[in-house]
Amino acid sequence: MSETGHAMLDAIRSRRSIRQYSADPVSDDDVRSILEAGRWAPSGLNNQPWRFGVVRDPKCKNTISELTRYREIIRNAPVIIAVFLDNDAGYDRVKDCQSIGACLQNMWLATHTLGLGGVWLGEILKNKEGVGEILEAPQSYELMAVLAIGHPKHRQQKSDRKSLSELVFKEV
Ligand SMILES: Cc1cc2nc3c(=O)[nH]c(=O)nc-3n(C[C@H](O)[C@H](O)[C@H](O)COP(=O)(O)O)c2cc1C
């Protein structure tokens, strides 16, 4: 396998949810690279239904943080990216949501590859309208997740997965 191939599999395997960050800022270049990774995600009919709200402003971040039980993560992350589905650009609910998932995973892996850490926050969706209002998102934008990003405070995160034998139900 090529070196790039190995690096990609390593990144997929070693990415963890990072919920604590140092005070170091995240550069504009890094944020741009993460957004670029999202932009290049696949989507059905190439409809690219994702829209991004990038928030660094501490006051705005704090207001958003009140909408989730994971407020400390959002407060402490130097930057968050709210990922929306533009329903006006959508054509099939399942496929549009799958595309947004691919976009988020691209951005998360890019974050990890850049030496940063992030976590995909979904619990905040219980207040998705509130996040949209704070960011003055158009009516057709529906919040899909918030990606919190920063420099990892530490890298001791552990995680596990079901074994393949539990997941592959048939191989003929
Ligand atoms: C759709 C989705 C929603 C998630 N929502 C949250 C969340 O609200 N808060 C949180 O701390 N982690 C959240 N996570 C992160 C998961 O808890 C995490 O990916 C999982 O436990 C596996 O750990 P790992 O990412 O370190 O491999 C979410 C992940 C996904 C894909």
pLDDT tens-digit profile of 119-159?
999 999 999 999 999 999 999 999 999 999 999 999 999 99
For the chain, domain boundaries:
22-154
| DSSP state letter for 125 | G
4 pLDDT above the threshold of 90: no
In the prediction, which pLDDT does 1 show?
82
- From 121, 124, 154, 158, the mutation candidate for ligand 1 (largest count of ligand atoms within 8 A of CB) is 121
Structure confidence by residue, pLDDT tens digits, 93-103: 999 999 999 99
Tell me how many degrees the CA angle 150-14-65 measures, rounded to the nearest 5.
Answer: 30
Q: How far is the CA of 58 from the centre of ligand 1 (A)?
A: 23
Mapped onto helix, strand or coil, the DSSP state of residue 170 is coil
The residue nearest atom 31 of ligand 1, judged by CA position, is 120
Residues whose beta carbon lies within 6 Å of some atom of ligand 1:
16-17, 19, 70, 119-123, 157, 159
Classify domain 22-154 by CATH number.
3.40.109.10
pTM greater than 0.85: yes
The burial class, CB within 10 Å (0-12 / 13-18 / 19+), for 124 is buried
Residue closest via CA to ligand 1's atom 27 equals: 16
